[in-house]
């Protein structure tokens, strides 16, 4: 995995957020399937021994995370140095002050790894480790299982304000056109990596994904071999969830 997007290099689809926690700062990265891009660096205003400074620091990290979480990327990997409890302190903060991140439909999947992720070279080295690759796989599996739980509830619900679409054409009609008040509002666009790789309408699908993301539709590409991906494959490989408000 590359750590800087070079000219003409495709970044792929979003996979996770990586947070590098150090004694005095946090560095956030957006992890795509082919590249990791720096998102933000937050410095602690004070020391970790000061509970107020640590609280404000963690809140600043959450605030930077919010837009990515709203986009639907809810896999978060936290890297911190050996013999430090920085990652656990942050997770404890989430459980104490942000319970919305621990429950479906907003539930995020957090995992921790020992190491540093403050510079491109550190992230590149971390991304090459088997542990990092395993964590990405396991954590994204947990995240996508949460998404499938939402899907299954929508499929079994009899409410008229829930809508599940199974074709590219239907998803395009819903997402690409500006919807009038009272019309279904697209919330999730879910597709498997296999669907994305094998479809004959790649340009249409990539355009749909980009516009969906721009319009705040939670868009996720799911490993076709995972339980969630197998369920999506049964439904055709692409599903769009919408709701009438």
**Are 28 and 119 in a shared domain?**
yes
Q: Answer yes or no: is 150 within a domain.
A: no
Does the residue 4 lie in any domain? no
Q: How far apart are CA 243 and CA 115, in angstroms?
A: 42
2 falls within a domain: no
| pLDDT at 9 > cutoff 50 | no
Quickly tell me which residue has 């070279």 as its tokens: 121
Q: Find, among 214, 211, 203, the residue nearest to 173 by Cα.
A: 211
Q: Within a domain: residue 1? A: no
200 within some domain: yes
Given pLDDT bands bounded at 50, 70 and 90, which one contains residue 5?
Answer: very low
Q: What is the CATH number of the domain that holds 84?
A: 3.30.420.60
- 19 and 137 in a single domain? The answer is yes
Mean pLDDT of 177-201: 88
Q: What is the pLDDT of residues 17-64, one digit of tens each?
A: 999 999 999 999 999 888 899 999 999 999 999 999 999 999 999 999
Residue that is written with structure tokens 């490993």 in the block: 223
Q: Reduced to 3 states, what is the DSSP secondary structure of residue 198? A: helix
**Domain assignment of residue 39, yes or no:** yes
Give pTM, 2 decimals. Answer: 0.76
Structural domain ending residue among the three candidates 91, 113, 142: 142
Residue 200 shares a structural domain with residue 119 = no
Query: Considering the domain boundaries, does residue 87 fall inside one?
Result: yes
Supply angle C-alpha 164, 166, 168, rounded to 5.
125
SS3 184: coil
Is the domain of 208 the same as that of 91? no
Characterize the bridge pairing of strands 75-80 and 14-21. Answer: parallel
> Within 13 Å of residue 42, how many CA atoms lie on the same side as its CB?
20
- Give me the CATH number covering residue 173: 3.30.1330.30
81 and 58 in one domain?
yes
Are 62 and 36 found together in one domain?
A: yes
Q: What is the pLDDT at residue 10? A: 67
Claim to verify: residue 225 and residue 165 sit in the same structural domain: yes
Rounded mean pLDDT of 3-12? 52
Cβ neighbours of 8 (radius 10 Å): 5
| Least reliable range by pLDDT among 22-26, 71-75, 188-192 | 71-75
Mean pLDDT of the 194-220 span: 93
Of 3-7, 87-91, 239-243, minimum mean pLDDT range: 3-7
pLDDT at 4 over 70: no
pLDDT of residue 183: 79
Considering 112, 142, 172, which residue would you say is the last residue of a domain? 142
Residue 7 has what pLDDT?
40
CB atoms within 10 A of CB 232: 26
Average pLDDT, the chain: 90
The residue-averaged pLDDT of 144-173 equals 86
Check whether residue 166 and residue 136 sit in a common domain: no
Cβ distance 106 to 69 under 8 Å? yes
Residues 100, 203 within the same domain: no
* Structural domain range at position 174: 157-243
Same domain, 125 and 55: yes
Q: Distance between the two ends of the chain, CA-based, in angstroms?
A: 41
Bigger pLDDT: 71 vs 112: 112
Final residue of a structural domain among 142, 170, 195? 142
Q: Are 189 and 123 in the same domain?
A: no
Of the candidates 117, 111, 114, which has an alpha carbon nearest to the alpha carbon of residue 137?
111
User: What pLDDT score does 188 carry?
Assistant: 93
Whether residue 42 lies inside any domain: the answer is yes
């Amino acid at each position: 995995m590359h750590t800087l997007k070079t000219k003409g290099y495709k970044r792929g689809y979003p996979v996770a957020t990586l947070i590098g926690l150090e004694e005095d700062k946090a560095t956030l990265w957006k992890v795509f399937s082919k590249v990791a891009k720096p998102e933000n660096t937050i410095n602690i205003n004070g020391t970790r021994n000061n509970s107020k400074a640590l609280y404000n620091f963690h809140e600043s990290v959450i605030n930077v995370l919010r837009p990515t979480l709203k986009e639907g990327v809810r896999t978060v990997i936290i890297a911190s140095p050996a013999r430090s409890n920085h990652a656990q302190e942050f997770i404890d903060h989430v459980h104490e002050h942000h319970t919305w991140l621990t429950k479906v439909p907003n539930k995020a999947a957090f995992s921790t790894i020992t190491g540093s992720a403050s510079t491109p070279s550190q992230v590149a080295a971390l991304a090459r480790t088997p542990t990092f690759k395993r964590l990405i796989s396991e954590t994204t599996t947990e995240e996508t299982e949460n998404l499938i739980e939402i899907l299954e509830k929508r499929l079994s619900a009899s409410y008229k304000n829930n809508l599940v679409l199974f074709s590219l054409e239907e998803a395009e009609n819903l997402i690409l056109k500006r919807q009038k008040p009272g019309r279904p509002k697209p919330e999730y666009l879910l597709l498997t990596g296999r669907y994305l790789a094998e479809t004959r309408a790649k340009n249409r699908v990539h355009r749909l994904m980009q516009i969906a993301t721009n319009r705040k539709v939670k868009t996720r590409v799911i490993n076709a071999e995972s339980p969630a991906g197998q369920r999506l494959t049964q439904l055709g490989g692409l599903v769009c969830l919408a709701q009438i408000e």
